[in-house]
Structures are given as C-alpha cells and as structure tokens.
Structure 1
Amino acid sequence: MLWSVRTVVDRTLHGPRSVGVAALAGAALMLAALFGPPKLFEYSESPGFCGRCHEMERESWERMGSHRRERCVECHLPNRHWIPHILAKGIHGTRDVVAYASGRIPDPIRLSEPGQRIVHDNCVRCHGAMVSRIDAGRRCFRCHRRSTHRGATR
C-alpha cells in the first residue's frame, strides 16, 4: 500500500513531541536538498515538490498566462542573491513542514507581511519597467492577487 507523506505523519506523529520531530525532519530534508545531489536541489524548487504539501488548485495556476511557466520560488523566495534565497528556503520550508505535519495549516492560507514583501519585490524584479509607472505606496498583488492563484485572499 502506498502512503502519502500526510498519512505517514498522521499515523506516526502524535503528542507534544510531534512538532519537534516534524521540525527536525524538515531541517533534515532542507539540508539534504541543499547539500545533496544537485538534481535534488533543483527538484526542491519545482512546483511538483512544493505541491506535495502546499495543496493548491494547480490546474488554475497552470492556466494563468505567462506565470504558468514560473516555479513557485520565483515569486515566494528572495531572488536577488543566492544567500537570502537559501536561508529563506530553509526557514520557510521547515516552518511549512511543521505546519503540514502537525495539521496546523490555516484556512485560508494568508501571506505573512515578510512574504508579501518578498512577493512584491519579485514582481518588481520581473516587471520593473511597468511597475515604475505605478503608485509606490501599493503592492502589486493588491490588485493582481488572483493573477497566479485562484481564490487567493492576500
């Protein structure tokens, strides 16, 4: 019988130590992705990898114009330099594994303030010429939040 990650976690992680075990597992996965074979790191940045825990409406994302060709990390992680990218990937990845494993995922999922800054900075990084003509006091996804994820609230 094939079990999903969620099934294994549900059957093995119970009690007060579950969050610690999940954090340790997440950290181990991130270290393996960072320092393991290059293909593992590459896969860890793919929508297929992210979608294993981040249950989203992938079909709607895949049909969303030019963004359908982008990997999740292009928008959701810092991309101006590799050091902040790797650090954020490890921190956010571990946090997300813990939330998923412990069943503490909010519904709906809302982007944190630091996450909003990262996404906005990446909008500007890719669409800088267009964004320079827009009011600097607003974030791009205030109007365009559904341009990549249907049902996104913020």
Structure 2
Amino acid sequence: MKKRTRPRLATVLYILIAALIGGMAGIGTYTFGYAKGASYLSAGSESCANCHVMQGHYDAWLKSSHGKFASCNDCHAPHDSVVSMYYCKARNGFFHSLAFTTGDFEENLRITDYNRRVTEQACRNCHEDVVHQIDIRAIGELNEDHTERLESNACIRCHSTVGHDT
C-alpha cells in the first residue's frame, strides 16, 4: 500500500489562486451583468431604480419638481470633484448592496449623516442665492467655516421630502 503524501505547497497555491480568480470573475459577472453595475458609472437616474427597494423613490422623483430639472446625482453626489463624486457613488453602492443583499435595512429608508451632508451641500449649490438670504436672516453674519449655518438652518430639515414627494 502506498503511503499518502501531503499536497505540495505549489499545488495548494495554484488552487487558491484559481479560486480567487474564479471568485473575482463570478462577483464581477454578477455585479456588471445581473446587477447592472456599469449603469452606476453614468449620471442616469434610472440606474437608481435597479434595486427594487428604490423603485418607489425613483417613481416619486419622476413626478416631483426636481424630476424635471435635476438628476439623482445632482442631489445625492458631491459637486466639488469627479473623485469625490465617484467615491460617494462607490461608498453608497457598496453599503446599499450589502444592506439589500443581506436584508439588513429598515423598511423606511433613512439617510446617513454622510449623505445628509452631501445632499445639504447640493441644495445650497443649486439654490445659493435664496439660501444665502435665508441664512443671513436666520443667524446674522455667517461664521467663517459655515458649520453653525449648516447645523441650525439645514435645508433638508424642513424640506426632507423634496425630490421624493409621493
């Protein structure tokens, strides 16, 4: 009877590398095939409804005043650079897909602090003239870093359903 020998280290490494490549190819195929991952690289708002959980928000946006003038990215992605816009989209995509895949999300979706800041800044970018006048009346002279203004006089504090009215 032959005595069994342990697999050689090289064989184990080849198997691990093949499994890693196969896993990455499978995840990539799923992400960019079935889950339409490439659509998230565009500015098209319809990609936001790829996930059925967002369909109601997308439908409400289509009927809203913002649906005629602004895309989802206009309100939910930073405007300061392409890098921060894609960072935001990648960050949100990762956490959204994780939550929706695992089912670990509240039925009534809630905006995160990070996304609240992004959306608040987007409101202020588009409605700068009006917001500036409101800020001056609400808190007097603006402090240098504007943190007091953003926290005490946030647009989305009163206008939380704008863009998603149902």
TM-score by length of 2: 0.62
1:143 matched residue in structure 2: 158
CA change 1:64–1:82 in 2 (3 A) is same
* Aligned residue type for 2:45: P
Aligned pair partner of 1:49 in 44, 47, 50: 47
CA change 1:87–1:79 in 2 (3 A) is same
Contact map agreement 2:120 2:155 (CA 8 A) in 1: yes
Secondary structure of 2:133 counterpart:
coil
| Cα distance in 2 for residues equivalent to 1:70 and 1:90 | 20
* Identity across the alignment (%): 21
| Cα distance in 1 for residues equivalent to 2:50 and 2:105 | 14
| Cα distance in 2 for residues equivalent to 1:138 and 1:73 | 23
Gaps of 5+ in 1: 1-20, 34-38
Deviations along 1:93-117, one digit per CA (max 9) or x if unpaired, are 1111111111112121111111111
Gaps of 5+ in 2: 1-23, 136-148
| Cα distance in 2 for residues equivalent to 1:59 and 1:50 | 11
Q: Which has the larger radius of gyration?
A: 2
| Cα distance in 1 for residues equivalent to 2:100 and 2:92 | 12
Counterpart mapping for 1:24-103 below 5 A? 29=32, 33=38, 41-42=41-42, 45-53=43-51, 54-103=54-103
| Cα distance in 1 for residues equivalent to 2:81 and 2:163 | 24
CA change 1:94–1:40 in 2 (3 A) is closer
| Cα distance in 1 for residues equivalent to 2:121 and 2:67 | 16
Alignment length (residue pairs): 121
Secondary structure of 1:56 counterpart:
helix
Instruction: Flag the structure with more relative contact order, 1 or 2, with Cα contacts below 8 A and sequence separation at least 6.
Output: 1
TM superposition shift of 1:143: 1.2
TM superposition shift of 1:40: 7.1
Secondary structure of 1:104 counterpart:
coil
Bigger helix share = 2
Contact map agreement 2:64 2:165 (CA 8 A) in 1: no
